[in-house]
Structure 1
Amino acid sequence: MIVRIMGEGQVRLADDHLTELNKLDDELLAEMESGDEPGFRQTLAALLDAVRRLGSPLPDDSLEPSELILPAPDASLDEVRAMLSDDGLIPG
């Protein structure tokens, strides 16, 4: 799976990491719903760090279609809310 972090680039991520990422996505969704800005910031950073750690960066000149697009680390609660589907940021 190709994942884009807005403002950073793309990484190739094995599908078997989705379970770990979905746990963080569920936490992020709960924090957004409760308006927990500090928790939201911490969990968004953890989610993006996990994608960077588990994925392999693609070259900057690579133009692969992204299957998943994640917000930039400094995205606001409202910006992330606009990106959500019923499953959160990560399907499944």
Structure 2
Amino acid sequence: MIVRIMGEGQVELTEAHVRELDALDDELLAEVERGDGDGFRRTLAALLDRVRALGTPLPDDSLEPSGLVLPAPDATLDEVRTLLSDDGLIPPPA
């Protein structure tokens, strides 16, 4: 799956990697729902760090369609709230 981090670029993740990110996504969803700004900031950073660590970066000039778009590291709680579905940022596996 191609994942775009807003403002940074794209990485390719395997489905196994996407499933691994689900726990952080669930935690982020709960923190946004509670309005926990500090927890949200910490978990968003951890989620994006994990995506960067697991993913294979695509070249900057690559224009692959993204299967998943994640917020920028400096996104606000309210900005992320608008991106969330009932399942969080990462949809459950099909």
Coarse TM-score class (shorter-chain normalised): over 0.9
**Aligned pairs, number:** 92
Residue 19 of structure 1: CA displacement? 2.2
Structure 2 length-normalised TM = 0.96
Query: Corresponding residue for 1:11?
Result: 11
- Structure 1 regions of 5+ residues with no counterpart? none
Query: Corresponding residue for 1:60?
Result: 60
User: Is 2:43 the partner of 1:46?
Assistant: no
The list of structure 1 runs, each at least 4 consecutive aligned residues, that deviate by more than 4 angstroms after superposition, is none
- Structure 2 regions of 5+ residues with no counterpart? none
User: Is 2:87 the partner of 1:87?
Assistant: yes
Residue 20 of structure 1: CA displacement? 1.8
Which amino acid in structure 1 is aligned with residue 39 of structure 2?
Answer: G
Secondary structure, in 3 states, of the residue corresponding to 2:3?
strand
Which amino acid in structure 2 is aligned with residue 20 of structure 1?
Answer: E
Which amino acid in structure 1 is aligned with residue 50 of structure 2?
Answer: A
Cα separation, 1, equivalents of 2:31 and 2:84? 13
